[in-house]
Amino acid sequence: MLEGVVKIPRGRFSAAGEAVRRGRILRAQGRRRQAAEAFLEALALCPRETDAYWHNTALNELEITEGAAELESKPRSLNMVLSNRCNIECVMCSVWDNPWEMPERALREVSELFPTLGRLMWQGGEVFMSPRFEPLFDLAAAHLNLQQHITTNGLLFSRSLARKIIRSNSALILSIDGATKTTYERVRKKGRFERLLEGIRLLNEARDERAAASAGAPVYPLTMNVTIMRSNYRELERFAEFAHEHRFQTLQINPVDTSGPEDIFRCRDREALPFIEEAVPRMKERAARLGLILHVWLPSSRSPELIREPKPGIEKLEEPKAASSQAVPAFANEIGCFWPWQDLWIDQGGRVRPHCFCGWDIGNVKDDSLMALWNNETMQGYRRRLHANAAAGWCSNRCVEGAILKEALGLDG
Ligand code: SF4
């Protein structure tokens, strides 16, 4: 599941924050020395003891600028799966059939990171099925710089849960893989379309209450996420209408990542892929007309490798070589992606990667502590490759070829 570019306002911004922002701009202009000076200025403004969040942010930006492989700074973004529990049984997913719970030790480690985290992304299974969610959500909500992003199927909202979440510093991403009742219920087995619509109605009611209570505040961000697969690719254009009708601001379109009957990308389906390539431009036009923000993260049918098969284990990385004129395609940016410096993506079963686009795991929370994973050999290998602009052939083609927005590669944030 992908979620990367929802924008919501920060709880606090400080002089250190201004210096960090200046440093990022300077680094993007290639003025690394001045950028490093700005980050050092930010560090001096926010000692760790009094402002853990900005101290860690400034230190992390400095380490990115220096291309450090082993980091003193801690992760700034975390994807979290509490369990595989789910209330539905989607056709393209087997998570619901594999019981798994996040170990208690890892939960403690996660909550220890709250003071320095800027973003916490909750995913499932279905996140609201876990009794551990609400206590952890409340604990995280006490940290004003921490934005929580919740991905849910939207079928379990009560009025009180909708209100609680909409009133917090958070954003919601609803996974909706059918624009019609027939398709929705075919894909989301045990899910009822009417219950989904009721959940969305409760959310919009709570959004209206929040807007009425705080005139001038930004609209609470609501994103719709669609996984495109065999059962729903013909509805591509209808998703834009559905999103608009139900007051979503953003629509994200992702490819299914499976080898099963719903696969159309790994098997390069000869009917589905040309259909999609023709439908996407029409969908973009329609979304623009409706004022929807649309992100289409579907691989091109011309990609040599549409979706990378997950790697079964961790392999020792070769030392990255500096980019050469033959190293094409290469990222357009000096460092193509910041996720290995910023993010830990804990997935179902405790697998950990730098981000969801990444094909190679760095380890598993059942074997290692989060901080050991953060700086292990594989994670450092990601950083070294990216810093040497030698990630082509290792990183996902979708990232390298520019199919992913730079904001979704951690480059703006
Ligand atoms: S560019 Fe590489 S490290 Fe960054 S998200 Fe893509 S695969 Fe992962």
| CA of 358 relative to ligand 1 center, distance in Å | 5
Is the pLDDT reported for residue 208 higher than 60? yes
Q: State the pLDDT at residue 301.
A: 62
Neighbours of 278 (CB within 10 A): 10
In the three-class reduction of DSSP (H, G, I as helix; E, B as strand; rest coil), residue 80 is classed as strand
**Residues forming a β-bridge with 223:** 173, 250
CA atoms within 13 A on the CB side of 100: 21
Please name every residue paired with 255 in a beta bridge, in sequence order, or none if there are none. Answer: 228
Position 206 confidence tier, pLDDT thresholds 50, 70, 90: very high
Arithmetic mean of pLDDT over the chain: 87
Name the pLDDT band for 412 (thresholds 50, 70, 90): low
How far apart are the CA of 340 and the centre of ligand 1, in A?
A: 8
User: Ligand 1: does its nearest atom lie under 6 Å from the Cβ of 390?
Assistant: no
CA 196 / ligand 1 centre spacing (Å): 33
Would you state the pLDDT for residue 324?
Answer: 40
Identify which of 257, 341, 342, 409 to mutate to test ligand 1's pocket (most ligand atoms within 8 A of the CB).
409
Q: How far apart are alpha carbons 169 and 140 in whole angstroms?
A: 10
4 lines ligand 1 (CB under 6 A): no
Q: Which of 303, 308, 309, 337 to mutate to test the pocket of ligand 1 (most atoms within 8 A of CB)?
A: 337
The answer to whether residue 352 scores a pLDDT higher than 90 is: yes
Which DSSP string do the residues of 141-181 spell out, in sequence order? HT-TT-EEEEEE-S-S--HHHHHHHHTSSEEEEEE---SSH
Residue 157, token pair as written in the block: 């909202």
Tell me if 78 sits within 8 A of 343, measured CB to CB. yes
pLDDT band for 338, please (50, 70, 90 cuts).
Answer: very high
CB-based contacts of 161-167 (< 8 A; 24+ apart in sequence):
161/128, 162/199, 162/202, 162/203, 162/205, 162/206, 163/206, 163/209, 165/137, 165/206, 166/203, 166/206, 166/207, 166/209, 166/210, 166/220, 167/206, 167/210
pLDDT at 3: 41
Q: Of 129, 170, 166, 132, which is closest to residue 148 (Cα–Cα)?
A: 170
Per-residue confidence (pLDDT) for residue 331, from 0 to 100: 47
Cβ atoms of 339 and 410 within 8 Å: the answer is: yes
- Cross-strand partners of 252: 225, 295
Q: How far is CA 243 from CA 237, 255, 294, in A?
A: 11, 18, 10
Q: Are 310 and 356 in contact (CB under 8 A)?
A: no
Q: Residue 122's pLDDT is what?
A: 97
Beta bridge partners of 189: 89
Q: Are the beta carbons of 71 and 63 closer than 8 angstroms? A: yes
- Distance separating alpha carbons of residues 47 and 154, to the nearest angstrom: 41
Whole-number pLDDT of residue 199: 98
pLDDT, average across residues 369-390: 94
Range in 138-142, 212-216, 403-407 with the lowest mean pLDDT = 403-407
pTM of the model: 0.85
Is the C-beta atom of 362 inside 6 A of ligand 1? no
Report d(CA 202, CA 221) in Å as an integer.
15
Each residue of 24-52: pLDDT tens digit?
999 988 899 999 999 999 999 998 988 99
Identify the weakest region by mean pLDDT among 104-108, 334-338, 356-360, 374-378: 334-338
* Helices of type H across 322-365: 339-342
Q: What is the pLDDT of residue 307?
A: 55
